[in-house]
């Protein structure tokens, strides 16, 4: 459509109803200043243009680049390398060709501040988060000139809104930045913007936030929410509708958390609650800065490193990661496995470690396929079952193959130990899982109320062994990482599936064996962990499963192969949005009973394993070679999980 056919009254007629005609025409006469046309400024401009505002003062000195694509209005292929201010002016003129612009193409600074705010009815802040100095200057000038000034900050998947209105608390009085170092100013700005810090709960990778490098993560949803929030308050201010919260009051809406909080911080950052919050954030940041360099991941440089970078996400009992890699050439590497039989009662014959190593091989095979390679595995000494060494050779595939469909699930697959939905598994999903284990294996499903009760009784019996023998105490002491959400070499306490009181009790008890004994004897110490870790999850799931080997496994190679089937099963479950928790202790204790292996000095508990075996055989329909057992169900993925050691730490050079 040509610009001369444009008709303001038609273009913005659908605003009518929420504003009346007189108000719409008033909006047309208003001038809004927007500093910054990046993350939120572009969306502000386009939203306010669609609201029918007729005049803008805009400032920006940047050009569009690819890293702006995730969120910035106007950031797209045709605009890369172009001035943001020109692109956004064009886009806005495409909505209202009658717009009047005063452009500040070298940004706002102390010299043009007066011109930038000349004739302005409202200032909408959209400066870069890190541009603290100029932001202070603009807000101070607005206060001096009696111009209402608002800011809507994109935080996580939400928006934090503050308004500084004429004659009320000023930006400086609220944030209290004067005389502070830059780091501290940024911290104060962040905590002042979002006293509720709703976004902090769901940041999944804090390495992406780097205040020193002036970099932080962002989302497109937050920018659009900001435009909505700022646009709404712009309308209320410009039409004098009232009810705009002014600092020290603020609003924080978080779409991810389904939460809206109205904040009130008299004295701004000098408020005792803010001072406490600042102290906590400062401590967290300094702990983050002092993280050991070996925990920092480096980008894999070669094909083998890329394959191993996937491989290391294989699951292992208690997250022990019992493997190291030696890269021999660009087509050959060696896996040195080191089982945990000398300290882990769950791994007395090294079979759990071999099953884990099998999951590693499956990851290698999938990751190699994604590089157009086939991985072949050779056990150096097939007769050895302790510390097997595996040579991996990579050969080019003759035909081009599709990207392996399970590849994207290698890193996101994780244990979920919390209760799951009791919705039965869909038939199509069961069939996909049956197919995934492949030939040589079959699945036993344990479903329905009665069967789930039976298996839960079994789990409780295994727990009564697990939680009361000193041999297991030694393992739990070693493998739980207390007070963390993520752990690269253990299991975080928050991923155990117990509530915080029970976790605290477990932490206290695990300081010494005598504490465990005392708690168990006088205070029924196993009751809460058994209810939370076994009873409730045992019943609250879609189904339990056992992966069975058609031919009983004998050699190390058989156990490795079993592990590969486990990984195909688990990755497929992840793809189907099913959560999984292994339930290996009943299986492990009953195998010990079958093999006549002594695993504890406690004769009663050794005998309990015999009963467990009979019950498990009854549930499996007779004696079977059970490779893996667990529960499955629909539900959200775990928010706390085990991570992995960095590849650098897993690489070795053997002589």
List of residues contacting ligand FMN (CB under 6 A) = 315-319, 352, 355-356, 359, 414-415, 417, 491, 581-585, 641-642
Q: Which one, 517 or 540, has the nearer CB to ligand FMN? A: 540
Q: Tell me the three state secondary structure of residue 124.
A: strand
Closest distance to ligand FMN from the beta carbon of 189 (Å): 36
Burial class (CB in 10 A: 0-12, 13-18, 19+), 83: middle
Shortest reach from residue 503's CB to ligand FMN, in Å? 15
What are the distances in angstroms from CA 597 to CA 341, 461, 601? 13, 18, 12
Q: Distance between alpha carbon 307 and the CA centroid of its chain, in Å?
A: 23
| Nearer CB in complex with ligand FMN: 230/629 | 629
Taking alpha carbons only, the member of 553, 558, 554 closest to residue 361 is 558
Which residues touch 33 (CB under 8 Å, ≥6 apart)? 56, 57, 58, 59, 116, 117, 120, 122, 123, 124, 147
The nearest distance, CB 414 to ligand FMN, in angstroms, is 3
Closest to ligand FMN by CB, 71 or 641: 641
User: Is residue 150 within 8 Å of 229, Cβ to Cβ?
Assistant: no
- Give the residue with the Cβ less far from ligand FMN, 247 or 357: 357
Closest contact distance (angstroms) between CB of 54 and ligand FMN is 56
Q: Which residue is nearest to ligand FMN (CB)?
A: 315
CB of 590 to ligand FMN, least distance (A): 13
| Closest CB to ligand FMN among residues 265, 417 | 417
- Closest distance of CB 353 from ligand FMN, Å: 8
Q: Report which DSSP code applies to 553.
A: -
Which one, 161 or 628, has the nearer CB to ligand FMN? 628
DSSP 485: S
From 173, 153, 154, 156, select the one nearest 164 (Cα to Cα): 173
- Of 269 and 585, the one with the shorter C-beta distance to ligand FMN is 585
Residues sharing a CB contact under 8 Å with residue 561, sequence separation 6 or more, in sequence order: 358, 440, 553
Taking the C-alpha atoms of residue 227 and residue 237, their distance in angstroms, rounded to an integer, is 15
Token reading at 341: 């039989």
Smallest gap from Cβ 496 to ligand FMN, in A, equals 8
Mapped onto helix, strand or coil, the DSSP state of residue 162 is strand
Q: Give whole-number Cα distances, 382 to 18, 352, 556, in Å.
A: 77, 17, 7
Looking at beta carbons only, is 195 or 630 nearer to ligand FMN? 630
CB of 495 to ligand FMN, least distance (A): 7
Residue nearer to ligand FMN on the CB measure, 267 or 444: 444
Name every residue whose Cβ is closer than 8 Å to that of residue 630 and which is 6 or more positions away in sequence.
544, 545, 580, 581, 582, 583, 584
Question: Which residue's CB is nearer to ligand FMN, number 159 or number 533?
Answer: 533
Taking the complex as a whole, how short is the minimal distance between the CB of residue 418 and ligand FMN, in angstroms? 11
**Could you please report the per-residue DSSP string of 43-78?**
HHHHHHHHHT--EEEEE---BB-GGGTTT-TT-SGG
- Helix or strand (DSSP H, E) at 392: strand 389-396
Residue 584 Cβ vs ligand FMN, minimum distance, rounded to whole Å: 3
Q: List for the chain the helix, strand, coil content (%; round to 5).
A: 45, 20, 35
Q: State in angstroms the smallest separation of the CB of 308 from ligand FMN.
A: 16
For ligand FMN, which is the closer residue by CB, 248 or 315?
315
């Amino acid at each position: 459509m040509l610009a001369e056919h444009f008709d303001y009254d038609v273009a913005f007629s659908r605003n009518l109803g929420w504003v009346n005609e007189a108000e719409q025409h008033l909006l047309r006469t208003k001038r809004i200043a927007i500093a910054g046309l990046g993350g939120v400024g572009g969306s502000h401009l386009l939203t306010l243009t669609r609201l029918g505002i007729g005049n803008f003062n805009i400032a920006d000195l940047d050009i569009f680049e690819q890293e702006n694509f995730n969120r910035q209005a106007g950031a797209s292929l045709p605009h890369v390398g172009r001035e943001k201010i020109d692109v956004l002016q064009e886009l806005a003129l495409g909505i209202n060709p009658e717009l009047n612009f005063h452009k500040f193409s070298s940004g706002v600074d102390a010299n043009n501040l007066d011109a930038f705010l000349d004739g302005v009815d409202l200032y909408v802040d959209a400066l870069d988060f890190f541009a603290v100095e100029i932001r202070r200057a603009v807000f101070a000038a607005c206060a001096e000139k009696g111009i209402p000034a608002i800011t809507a900050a994109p935080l996580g998947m939400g928006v934090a809104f503050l308004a500084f209105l004429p004659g009320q608390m000023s930006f400086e009085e609220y944030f209290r930045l004067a005389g502070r170092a830059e780091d501290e100013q940024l911290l104060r700005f962040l905590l002042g913007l979002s006293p509720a810090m709703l976004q902090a709960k769901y940041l999944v990778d804090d390495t992406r936030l780097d205040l020193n490098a002036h970099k932080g993560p962002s989302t497109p949803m937050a920018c659009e929410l900001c435009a909505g929030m700022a646009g709404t308050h712009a309308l209320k201010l410009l039409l004098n509708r009232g009810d705009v919260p002014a600092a020290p009051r603020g609003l924080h809406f978080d779409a991810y958390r389904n939460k809206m909080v109205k904040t009130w911080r008299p004295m701004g950052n000098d408020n005792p609650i803010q001072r406490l919050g600042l102290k906590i954030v400062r401590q967290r940041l300094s702990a983050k800065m002092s993280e050991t360099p070996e925990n920092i991941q480096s980008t894999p440089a070669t094909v083998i490193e890329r394959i191993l970078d996937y491989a290391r996400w294989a699951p292992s009992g208690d997250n022990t990661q019992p493997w190291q890699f030696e890269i021999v050439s660009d087509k050959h590497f060696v896996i040195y496995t080191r089982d945990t039989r000398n300290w882990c009662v769950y791994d007395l014959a090294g079979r759990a470690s071999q099953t884990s190593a099998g999951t590693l091989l499956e990851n290698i095979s999938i990751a190699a396929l994604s590089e157009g390679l086939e991985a072949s595995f050779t056990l150096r000494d097939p007769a050895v079952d302790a510390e097997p060494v595996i040579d991996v050779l990579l050969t080019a595939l003759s035909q081009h193959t599709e990207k392996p469909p399970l590849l994207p699930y290698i890193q996101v697959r994780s244990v979920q130990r919390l209760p799951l939905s009791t919705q039965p598994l869909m038939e199509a999903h069961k069939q996909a899982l049956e197919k995934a284990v492949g030939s040589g294996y079959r699945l036993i499903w344990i479903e329905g109320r009665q069967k789930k009760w039976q298996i839960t009784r079994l789990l409780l019996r295994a727990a009564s062994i697990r939680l009361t023998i000193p041999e297991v105490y030694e393992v739990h002491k070693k493998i739980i990482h207390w007070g963390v959400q993520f752990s690269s070499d253990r299991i975080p306490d928050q991923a155990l599936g117990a509530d915080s009181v029970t976790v605290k009790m477990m932490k206290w008890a695990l300081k010494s064996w005598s504490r465990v004994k005392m708690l168990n004897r006088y205070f029924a110490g196993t009751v809460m962990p058994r209810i939370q870790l076994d009873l409730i999850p045992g019943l609250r799931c879609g189904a339990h499963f056992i992966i069975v080997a058609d031919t009983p496994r004998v050699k190390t190679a058989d156990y490795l192969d079993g592990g590969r089937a486990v990984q195909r099963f688990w990755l497929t479950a992840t793809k189907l949005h099913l959560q999984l928790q292994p339930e290996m202790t009943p299986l492990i204790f009953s195998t010990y009973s079958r093999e006549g292996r002594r695993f504890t000095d406690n004769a009663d508990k050794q005998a309990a394993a015999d009963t467990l075996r009979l019950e498990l055989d009854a549930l499996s329909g007779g004696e079977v070679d059970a490779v893996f057992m667990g529960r499955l169900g629909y539900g959200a993925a775990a928010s706390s999980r085990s991570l992995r050691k960095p590849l650098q730490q897993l690489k070795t050079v053997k002589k």
